[in-house]
Amino acid sequence: MLKVGECWLGDERMKAMILHKQAPIESSPLICSDVDKPKIKEGELLLKIRCCGVCRTDLHIVEGELPLMRLPLILGHQVVAILEKVDEGINNVKRGDKVGVPWLYWSCGKCKYCRRGLENLCDNALFTGYSIDGGYAEYMVAKANFVYTIPKDYDDLHAAPLLCGGAVGYRALKLTRLLERGEGNLGLFGFGSSAHMIAQVALNKGLEIYVFTRDKKRQEHALSLGARWAGAPIDEAPVKLDAAIVFAPASWIMIEALKKLDKGGRVVLADIYMTPIEQLDYKLIWLEKEIKSVANVTSRDVREFLIEASKAHVKPDVTVYTLKDANKALNDLKQGRIKGSAVLKIT
């Protein structure tokens, strides 16, 4: 037996941070535990986890803002891991490969949404670290067709944030429809972890970026990355926007984005939440303007984004924690004390 942190481990056992009951993160509800290593079934892979990103969705699960799908639960859906066991008959990956696992753990491939390539809307989908145990552990099981090769130019810690904030932001960027045009003025409302990754991809694709945030440091950061202009959400924009992505969950910011939108433009809402829209003046959507929300990601989004991020040399800022400090990482996220994205370094 080998002692690691506060847990005792044997060969068939592993260390994991386990949620037994939803509670405020200040009460440290994730318990460091010694549990059986998971076993693979047909079509599955056993992953030895290197690191796992910490996401605001994890906090929502812990604190009860999202309903539970199972208990006890191991959180974590931005997993970077090495394949330790691969079920017979799987040939898209092999033992020793380094892969990522995002929020979409599995989709049925049969429902009407999956058949249209909208597996993000699948009625039967499973989600990593929510309906299935995730990456706040030394090992996890994944489905062979739902893991993604990590580009060689990324180390483990900088690859993890690409798998959630980066991939969901990329879906939002695709839904603006500016990528297929290869030009246009794109407004980014909010400039946190997801927006700063997407800005780099958008610039690399030839779009002009205009950033709207009240935070002066974030405005400077945006300009240093190549944004044409940065100001507050209520400021007048120097140009009409062909599309905008709203990263903040505030409806007044969506209204500000609509005011700055050109004819035929689209505002994409990248957050799961939005404060109620109390009043929407029809003239804000007149002239074929649209509002579109984003719900998680498809396999194709993740695959494409990892390639585009590598081409654009997207380098997320990370703050590193140990596995047993997962409660602290989530608490720091809640208190806004993290620069960039928090990542748990596991092995």
Residues at the site binding Zn ion, with contacts judged by CB under 5 A: 55, 57, 107-108, 111, 114, 122, 164
Q: Phi/psi zone of residue 46: left (φ > 0), alpha (ψ -120 to 50 degrees), beta?
A: beta
Q: Which residue has the tokens 């017979």?
A: 88
Query: Which letter does DSSP use for residue 285 in this model?
Result: T
- Closest among 136, 5, 143 to 74, alpha carbons compared: 136
For 261, the 3-state DSSP assignment is strand
User: And the tokens for 293?
Assistant: 């929300």
Q: Which is nearer to Zn ion, 228 or 345 (CB)?
A: 345
Q: How many CB atoms lie within 10 A of CB 46?
A: 20
CB of 101 to Zn ion, least distance (A): 12
| CA atoms of 262 and 240, how far apart (whole Å) | 5
Contact 127, 133 (CB under 8 A): no
Minimum CB separation from Zn ion for residue 340, in Å? Answer: 14
- Is 56 or 221 the residue whose CB approaches Zn ion more closely? 56
Smallest gap from Cβ 320 to Zn ion, in A, equals: 18
Nearer to Zn ion, 157 or 164 (CB): 164
H or E segment to which residue 95 belongs: none
Residue 184 Cβ vs Zn ion, minimum distance, rounded to whole Å? 27
Nearer to Zn ion, 122 or 172 (CB): 122
- Determine the Cα–Cα distance for residues 281 and 283; give it in Å rounded to an integer: 5
Q: Kindly tell me which of 111 and 284 has the beta carbon lying closer to Zn ion.
A: 111
Q: What is the DSSP letter of 142?
A: E
User: Are the beta carbons of 142 and 101 closer than 8 angstroms?
Assistant: yes
Question: What's the closest the beta carbon of residue 251 comes to Zn ion, in angstroms?
Answer: 22
The two beta strands, 208-212 and 185-189, are parallel
Q: Residue 145 or residue 252: which is nearer to Zn ion going by CB?
A: 145
Output the smallest distance, CB 167 to Zn ion, in A: 9
What are the structure tokens assigned to 179, written together? 């990528």
Between 55 and 309, whose beta carbon lies closer to Zn ion? 55
Is the Cβ of residue 185 or residue 194 nearer to Zn ion in the bound state?
A: 194
Q: Which residues face 268 on adjacent strands?
A: 245, 292
d(CA 26, CA 115): 43
Query: Closest separation between CB of residue 52 and Zn ion, Å?
Result: 11
- Write down the least CB distance from residue 57 to Zn ion, Å: 4
